[in-house]
C-alpha cells in the first residue's frame, strides 16, 4: 500500500499567499492557528470579557485602578487584552478608539495617543500597535495627524472606494474593508431576488468591492495595506487569496484548517497593474466636500458606516456597564 502525503490544509496554503490575521478578543482560541497579527473591536472585547476564563484578567485591571470611572477603565481593558494577544502573535495587534469619538478628530487623536502611551508603559513598541479608527472624514484626518507622529492606524468600518482612497491619501498604514457586511446589505436589499449563484463567489458584492480597492491602490501606487475583514464564509476569504492581509474569525480559521482543497491566488498586484494599464482610472477627488458627497451617494456605505458606529457605541457602553 503506497502512502502519499496529503496536500497542506487551506489555512497553510492561504498563509503562502496572504498574511493571516486572527479576528477575536479570545486570545486562548487564536493560539492554534498561529496568525501573524490580531484584530479586536469593542464587540469582540465585550464578548471575551463576559467569558469565565477572562474574569481574572478583568478583575485584575479593576483592582489595579480602584475608583476609576468605567469610561476610563475601558482603555485599560482594551490594552490588557492587547498585551495578552501580543504574547501570542509575532506581529501587531489592532486596538480600537472609542466609536463615540468617530466625528471628533481632536478627541480621537488624544485617545489614540493615550492607548499608545499605555502600551509603551508596558514596554511595547508602537510599531506593534495599530490604532483602529472609523473611516469617517474626521477619523481619516485623525489618521493623518497620528501617522505623522509614527502612530500607525488601521482604518475600519470601511465600505467604499472613496473611504479607501482617502485613507490612502493620508498614508494610513492599513485599511479594513468589511466584506461580509457589504454582502449582508445587498442580500437584504435584493431579498428574494438574491441568488447565491449570480451573487456569490467571484461576484459576491463584498468581494468585488475589495477587488476594486485593490486595483485602485495598485494602479496609483498607494502603499497602504489592504486587509479584508468581516467574513461570512470561507468562500469569501478564498476569493480574496492574495490580498495583503485577511483578518478571520476563529470559526472560519478552523474551517480553513479542516479543508485540504487546493486554493489559487485571486489577487495579484502585478496582474492588477497590467490589467489597469489599459483602463483609464481617474483618481477620486478627496477634499472634504467631494468625500462627503461620494460617501453620501453610496447608500450601502452610508448605512453600514452609520450602523457600524452605532453598534460599536452600544457595545462600548455595555462594556462600561460590565465594569461598573
pTM exceeding the 0.85 threshold for the entire prediction: yes
pLDDT at 150 over 80: yes
CATH topology of domain 18-323: TIM Barrel (3.20.20)
Interhelix angle 161-169/137-148, nearest 10 degrees: 20
Residue 270 pLDDT class (50, 70, 90 cuts): confident
Q: What is the per-residue pLDDT across 280-290, written as a single tens digit (0 to 9) for each?
A: 678 999 999 99
Residues in CB range of 212: below 8 A, 6 or more apart: 161
* Positions of E strands within the chain: 19-23, 37-39, 93-96, 129-134, 153-158, 174-177, 225-228, 245-248
Q: What is the per-residue pLDDT across 12-36, written as a single tens digit (0 to 9) for each?
A: 999 999 999 999 999 999 999 999 9
C-beta of residue 205 within 8 angstroms of C-beta of residue 258? no
Catalytic residue among 111, 132, 218, 304: 132
Q: What is the per-residue pLDDT across 120-142, written as a single tens digit (0 to 9) for each?
A: 999 999 999 999 999 999 999 99
Bridge partners, 226 (sequence order):
175
What distance lies between CA 281 and its chain's CA centroid? 26
Residue with the three cell numbers 480574496: 240
Q: 132 catalytic, yes or no?
A: yes
Amino acid at each position: 500500500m503506497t502512502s502519499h502525503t496529503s496536500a497542506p490544509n487551506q489555512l497553510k496554503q492561504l498563509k503562502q499567499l496572504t498574511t493571516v490575521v486572527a479576528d477575536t478578543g479570545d486570545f486562548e482560541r487564536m493560539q492554534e492557528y498561529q496568525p501573524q497579527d490580531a484584530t479586536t473591536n469593542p464587540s469582540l472585547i465585550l464578548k471575551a470579557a463576559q467569558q469565565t476564563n477572562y474574569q481574572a484578567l478583568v478583575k485584575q485591571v479593576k483592582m489595579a485602578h480602584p475608583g476609576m470611572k468605567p469610561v476610563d477603565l475601558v482603555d485599560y481593558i482594551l490594552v490588557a487584552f492587547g498585551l495578552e494577544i501580543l504574547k501570542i502573535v509575532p506581529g501587531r495587534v489592532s486596538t480600537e478608539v472609542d466609536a463615540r469619538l468617530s466625528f471628533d478628530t481632536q478627541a480621537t487623536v488624544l485617545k489614540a495617543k493615550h492607548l499608545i502611551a499605555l502600551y509603551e508603559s508596558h514596554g511595547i513598541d508602537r510599531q506593534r500597535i495599530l490604532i483602529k479608527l472609523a473611516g469617517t472624514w474626521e477619523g481619516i484626518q485623525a489618521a493623518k495627524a497620528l501617522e505623522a507622529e509614527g502612530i500607525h492606524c488601521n482604518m475600519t468600518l470601511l465600505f467604499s472606494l472613496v473611504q479607501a482612497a482617502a485613507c490612502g491619501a493620508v498614508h494610513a498604514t492599513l485599511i479594513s474593508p468589511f466584506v461580509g457586511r457589504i454582502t449582508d446589505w445587498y442580500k437584504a436589499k435584493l431579498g428574494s431576488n438574491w441568488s447565491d449563484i449570480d451573487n456569490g463567489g467571484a461576484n459576491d458584492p463584498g468581494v468585488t468591492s475589495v477587488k476594486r480597492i485593490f486595483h485602485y491602490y495598485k494602479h496609483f501606487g498607494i502603499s497602504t495595506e489592504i486587509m479584508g475583514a468581516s467574513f461570512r464564509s470561507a468562500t469569501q476569504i478564498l476569493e480574496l487569496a492574495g490580498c495583503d492581509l485577511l483578518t478571520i474569525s476563529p470559526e472560519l480559521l478552523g474551517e480553513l484548517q479542516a479543508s485540504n482543497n487546493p486554493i489559487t491566488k485571486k489577487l495579484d498586484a502585478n496582474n492588477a497593474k497590467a490589467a489597469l494599464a489599459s483602463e483609464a482610472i481617474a483618481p477620486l477627488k478627496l477634499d472634504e466636500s467631494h468625500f462627503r458627497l461620494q460617501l453620501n451617494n453610496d447608500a450601502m456605505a452610508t448605512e453600514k458606516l452609520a450602523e457600524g458606529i452605532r453598534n460599536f457605541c452600544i457595545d462600548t457602553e455595555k462594556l462600561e456597564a460590565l465594569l461598573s
